[in-house]
Amino acid sequence: MNYSLLAPEILATAVGMLVLILGLIFKDRARQSVGIISLLSLVAVLILVILRFTDTQVFFNGIYQVDTYANFFKALFALAAVLVILNSSQYMERFGNKKSEFYALMMFATVGMMVMASAGDLLTIYIGLELMTVSFYILTAYLLEDETSSEAGLKYLILGAISSAVLLFGMSLVFALSGTTVITQIAGQISREPALIAGVILIAAGFAFKIAAVPFHMWAPDIYQGAPTPITTYLAVGSKAAGFAALLRIFIFAIPLTQFNWSLVLAILAALTMVVGNLIALTQTNVKRMLAYSSIAQAGYILAGLAAANQYGLKGVLFYAMLYVFSNTGAFAVATAVEVNTGSTDRDAFNALGQRSPMLAAVMTICLLSLAGIPPMAGFAGKFYLFSGAIQAGYLWLAFIGLLMSMISVYYYLLVAKAMYIGSNPQTGAMTVKAPARLALWVCLLATILIGVYPALLSNWAQTAISIFM
Amino acid sequence: MLGDYATIGIFLLLTILFPLAALGLAWVVRPKPLPDEEKLTTYECGVDTQGRTWVRFRVNYFLYALVFLAFDIETIFLFPWAVRFKALGLFAFVEMLVFIAILLTGLWYAWKEGALEWY
């Protein structure tokens, strides 16, 4: 076995521990260097994964799999973590004397996600999931003086524990029927029977909690609003993508559609998620909360591609997950800047941002248009793949709902743009944005436009990644 | 196959019916005097409770429990490795050292952050 293929995971874990130790020894003096070390190591992980993208290896009798699919998601997580850490530079003052732990926990959460994407075994997926979620419990409650942050952390802990229990129960039922936890071996061992259906539905429900799909979405708005904004970004982008990565692998490999038509279950979940997420987002006046509901709706779009389970749909899932990193991080980065400068994320705080900080307003507008799926931005190409996949799989109604809801979503996204360009604000003067956060903004902006104008690059990459399923 | 599910179904039915039957039967045969003060105490024939049950207690309890748990699990991991020590060889030995190093880092962190102090 070629253990060097595990280098990304090992590197991220080692650096997470190192950062923890440096923080212990040097206390607050290490803050800057610790941030740079984590950032550099994540960039190194990204480069390692991209360089060895097509190298594949099955470890420990199928328990752990390094393949193009896993590598695609690992690149996604590393990228998201880099952007979030850059963006969190604006937020650091609020973290008090617990700065190095923040980086360590970010690293551990990233490792958890990487394990989820690579795991070829139900229990390994569960361990990765727990590593990720436990890190997120702490990160969500990171603003010690802020009551809403602590409340969000506690809510996430309790609801996360329940969803883990549901997921584990589903896994245990599938294990009871198949006698194995290795995903690729399950398919040959199961037959169609009631307990299997219960198991699959419980697994779907457990993951639906993690990706915040309706009707398992109730936790998301409160926690997204209460958590520190960079962490909200990582929750919405990374945690969700990790949930999709594991869900896709389990369902495609372990549960043949002939045994149980999970595709229809996911299609119904997707439709519900798109409708409810978008309709509730319409009435939100707080931008952070609006983005939380919008990210619920986005999960619905991605689920539509997963329900289709054909080449277009799966490619769409990966494509959309990646562009979602850029668009959503960009939008949240602007929200962070506004929150740090004005102390509020209400829509009124965004008034006249177009005059005060044209750059911030431009990034916000481009990213929101991308999330809405307006043509020159990346979101359009992603939705095109997802809904083409759904139509090909015979879910014309699902694509129709998706298109209708995308149109509705334009309204609430543009409300923010309207506030930024037409709204008036007694306060004037540019907002201060730290240099690392500015870099993150530029990356998000350029990537969102580039992927939209020239989708072939990312699309080919996604195509290689899903080749393991075809 | 369906027979298996019937077993589970009957079992489920019994688990619902049995406590209901037991409670119902007790309700039918037991004497029914008006409840007095003694009857309404939490432990009718035990020691009287002192103070309220909803009291604050130190978060340190949880920290101790967490640190204990980590090392409890460590033993479970070490045990099978120790039993097959010779067969597993050097690779597993190094693996175990790495594992213990990770745990010790955690302990170091907890110690330095004051998880083991009682204030």
pTM across the whole model: 0.91
Q: Cβ A20–B109 below 8 Å, yes or no?
A: yes
More confident of the two residues B110 and B115: B110
Position A194 in a domain: no
Nearest CA in chain B to A22: B109
User: Residue range B37-45: average pLDDT?
Assistant: 78
Q: Which residues of A touch B110 (CB under 8 A)?
A: none
pLDDT at A335: 93
CA distances from A236 to A93, A120, A223, B98, B106 (A): 23, 24, 10, 33, 28
- Ranges in chain A, pLDDT < 50: none
Phi, psi of A121 (to 5 degrees): -145, 140
- Give the distance from residue B70's alpha carbon to the nearest chain A alpha carbon, in angstroms: 14
CA distances from B91 to A167, A172, B101, B104 (A): 34, 31, 15, 20
- Domain extent at residue A391: 263-470
Position A143 in a domain: no
Position A86 in a domain: no
ipTM over the 0.85 cut-off: no
Phi, psi of A104 (to 5 degrees): -60, -45
CA distance A248 to A240: 12
Closest residue by Cα to residue A360 from A372, A369, A352: A352
To test the contact with chain B by mutation, choose from A3, A9, A10, A24 the residue with the greatest count of B C-beta atoms within 10 A, namely: A24
Phi, psi of A214 (to 5 degrees): -65, 140
Question: Which residues have a Cβ under 8 Å from the Cβ of A147 and sit 6 or more positions away?
Answer: none
First-to-last alpha carbon distance for chain A, in angstroms, is 25
pLDDT at B119: 66
The answer to whether A457 contacts chain B (CB < 8 Å) is: no
**What is the rounded radius of gyration, in angstroms, for the C-alpha atoms of chain A?**
21
Nearest CA in chain A to B6: A194
**Confidence bin at B51 (pLDDT 50/70/90):** confident
pLDDT surpasses 80 at B9: yes
CA distance A329 to A368: 11
| A12 in Cβ contact with A110 (< 8 Å) | yes
The answer to whether B6 contacts chain A (CB < 8 Å) is: no
User: How many residue pairs bridge chain A and chain B with CB atoms within 8 Å of each other?
Assistant: 13
CA distance A312 to A290: 29
Two tokens, residue B98: 């790495």
Looking at chain B, the whole-number percentage of residues with pLDDT higher than 70 is 98
| A235 in Cβ contact with A328 (< 8 Å) | no
CA distance A358 to A2: 50
- Give the distance from residue A182's alpha carbon to the nearest chain B alpha carbon, in angstroms: 21
Question: Which residues have a Cβ under 8 Å from the Cβ of A131 and sit 6 or more positions away?
Answer: A108, A109, A111, A112, A115
CA distance B61 to B116: 10
CA distance A250 to A306: 12
Closest residue by Cα to residue A315 from A72, A88, A127: A72
**What are B56-64's contacts with CB under 8 Å, separation 24+?**
B60/B115, B60/B117, B60/B118, B60/B119, B63/B110, B63/B115, B63/B116, B64/B115, B64/B116
The answer to whether B7 contacts chain A (CB < 8 Å) is: no
Q: Are strands A64-66 and A57-59 parallel, antiparallel or unpaired?
A: antiparallel
- Residue A208 CA to chain centroid, in angstroms? 13
The single-letter DSSP state of residue A28 is: G
Position A466 in a domain: yes
AA identity, residue A145:
E
* Residues 97 through 116 of chain B touching chain A, CB cutoff 8 Å: 102, 105, 108-109, 112
Residues pairing with A346 in the sheet: A286
User: Residue range B90-107: average pLDDT?
Assistant: 90
- Give the distance from residue A273's alpha carbon to the nearest chain B alpha carbon, in angstroms: 33
* Residue of B5, B102, B112 lying closest to A17 (CB–CB): B102
- Give the distance from residue B112's alpha carbon to the nearest chain A alpha carbon, in angstroms: 7
Give the Cβ contact number of residue A16 at 10 Å: 23
Position A175 in a domain: no
* Residue of B5, B102, B109 lying closest to A24 (CB–CB): B109
The answer to whether A20 contacts chain B (CB < 8 Å) is: yes
Overall domain count for chain A: 1
pLDDT at B58: 78
CA distances from B97 to A74, A344, B27, B90, B105 (A): 27, 49, 62, 11, 12
pLDDT digits (tens, 9 = 90+) for A345-375: 888 889 988 889 999 999 999 999 999 999 8
Nearest-10 crossing angle of helices A194-210, A262-282: 30
To test the contact with chain A by mutation, choose from B63, B69, B109 the residue with the greatest count of A C-beta atoms within 10 A, namely: B109
Question: Which residues have a Cβ under 8 Å from the Cβ of A378 and sit 6 or more positions away?
Answer: A323, A326, A327, A370, A447, A448, A449, A450, A451, A452, A455
